[in-house]
Structure 1
Amino acid sequence: MSTLEIKDLHVSVETKEGPKPILRGVDLTINSGETHAIMGPNGSGKSTLAYSIAGHPKYDITSGEVYLDGENVLEMSVDERARAGLFLAMQYPVEVPGVSVANFLRTAKTAIDGQAPALRHWVKEVNGAMDNLRMDKSFAERSVNEGFSGGEKKRHEILQLELLKPKIAILDETDSGLDVDALRVVSEGVNRAKETTGAGFLLITHYTRILRYIKPDFVHVFVNGRVAEEGGPELAERLEAEGYDRFLSAATA
């Protein structure tokens, strides 16, 4: 059983006009086996939360705490956070020319586990995960994300998720840019990873369509850098029908 605890987290970014507050006191707890969906309008701070937890240097944590199984995440380097069991599927995965997917995946697995996986078992595991995600085997020889379509990039993120087996996975708008078929395949991969690893998930999205495939246990409405309302799956359905206007009006009142 693992737990990610976010306590009164405040984060700012540096701009030409000086520091700009983005997160304004976020409290959130995610346990193993739970799926938490964060929904909110553009600019509300959802991605800032994801990247702050992962350790992106652009974001300055001015106050608050983040703990994974009682260990202070904010005192860890990015690679230490990954080894501790945190995983981030990025909204815009970066290209890494010259590094094959196969080499990237095995290097990442070695870094996280502290030893290289047995080759025969590893190849079988990779091939099985790629089959599940309907990825051609030639994909493994391509450079990481170079020339990938949006769907290929997102499948590659979920391939990493399945192979690296984190304790807590943060998925930043994994549904963006996916057609219906790709959305279904990616969602199946997330559900499969949750079932096989028991990981906890923080799913960031604008829309409810992915929540038809990945059923959330909790839904959090994110507005103006904080959680404005919390509930169950029914809250997502209400957002689909009503939008965010009532939250935005309250935030500016």
Structure 2
Amino acid sequence: MNMIQPLLQVRDLRVDVAGRTVLESVSMQVRPGTVSVLMGANGSGKSTLGLALAGHPRYRVTGGSAQLGGADLLAMDVEARARAGLFLSFQAPPDIPGVKNNLFVRTAVNAVRESRGDTPLDAFDFLVEARGAARQLGLADAMLNRPVNEGFSGGERKRNELLQLALLKPRLAILDEIDSGMDVDGVRATLDLVARLREQGTAFVVVSHYLHLIEALAPDAVLRLENGRIAETGGLALAQAIAQTGYARSPDAVEA
């Protein structure tokens, strides 16, 4: 019996977007150092769950609860959630014109370090660490001096998200289709980073449709989202069954 307490505990979460209920009642728990894969048809609410937990103002929580490390996540503002160790990668990372990548990431890293009681990194120490992480992810050093994501390809944007993940070392990382637009080397770098952080205790919720990535992640749990609820929970076999039969699962398939 697993006695490790959940890091993330979500109960009966209900979320409205633009006056429409997208998540009816979502309950799930994620323990430290584990990987949970969230699957579901387009529009089922996978991105909504991540954005609501991160505190995006357009995603209004109208019921239920969410705790991170025993603290009330929903009572925190966006910045406090990040400082508490929540990281969200965007499905489509935006540009931030005029803001240098290295300054943006160092500011975020030092804010998190300060909340943990650690000494902030000066510019030199940060660049040493950032360049090392960038090399591991196949991201050119020159990208650190450019405005955030400005002129980046899709794969470079995703690698830049991974760079932030590598340097922030969050307690919980929600990765929304992080492999989208990635080449083979990018996917390999993603898997290596997840494995390293997982060993250090980071928990992951990974949104993905692709069985190859899911199998390589070796998830502890696979959850299928449908009609605003977790319709099925299982292991890798569930992801394999979905890949074979699709998301329109019959009652017989669910029972099996």
Deviation at 1:122, TM superposition (A): 2.3
Partner residue of 1:92? 92
- Of the three residues 116, 121, 129, the one matched with 2:120 is 116
Superposition RMSD on alpha carbons, in Å?
1.9
Paired letter, 1:231: G
Deviation at 1:40, TM superposition (A): 0.7
Alignment partner of 1:246: what SS? coil
Q: What are the superposed Cα offsets for residues 175-225 of structure 1, whole Å, 9 maximum, x if unpaired?
A: 222233322222222222222x31000001122121133221100011111
**Aligned-partner Cα distance in 1 for 2:250–2:105:** 41
1:138 is the counterpart of 2:142: yes
Instruction: Structure 2 unaligned segments of length 5 or more: list them.
Output: none
Partner residue of 1:211? 214
Partner residue of 1:7? 11
Q: TM-score, normalised by structure 2?
A: 0.91
Task: Check conservation: 2:191, 2:216, Cα contact below 8 A.
Answer: yes
Task: Check conservation: 1:39, 1:220, Cα contact below 8 A.
Answer: yes
Partner residue of 1:104? 104
Partner residue of 1:165? 169
Partner residue of 2:35? 35
Partner residue of 2:153? 149
1:66 is the counterpart of 2:66: yes
Task: Check conservation: 1:23, 1:224, Cα contact below 8 A.
Answer: yes
Alignment partner of 1:27: what SS? strand
**Aligned-partner Cα distance in 2 for 1:29–1:2:** 6
- Of the three residues 191, 197, 203, the one matched with 2:195 is 191
**Aligned-partner Cα distance in 2 for 1:171–1:101:** 20
Partner residue of 1:234? 237
Partner residue of 2:226? 223
Task: Check conservation: 1:8, 1:27, Cα contact below 8 A.
Answer: yes
How many correspondences in the alignment?
Answer: 246
Q: TM-score, normalised by structure 1?
A: 0.92
**Aligned-partner Cα distance in 2 for 1:247–1:230:** 15
Structure 1 segments (4+ residues) deviating >3 Å: 118-121, 247-250
Paired letter, 1:42: N
**Aligned-partner Cα distance in 1 for 2:121–2:231:** 44
Q: What are the superposed Cα offsets for residues 150-199 of structure 1, whole Å, 9 maximum, x if unpaired?
A: 1101111111111001101100111222233322222222222222x310
Deviation at 1:247, TM superposition (A): 5.4
Task: Check conservation: 2:215, 2:236, Cα contact below 8 A.
Answer: no
Paired letter, 1:5: Q
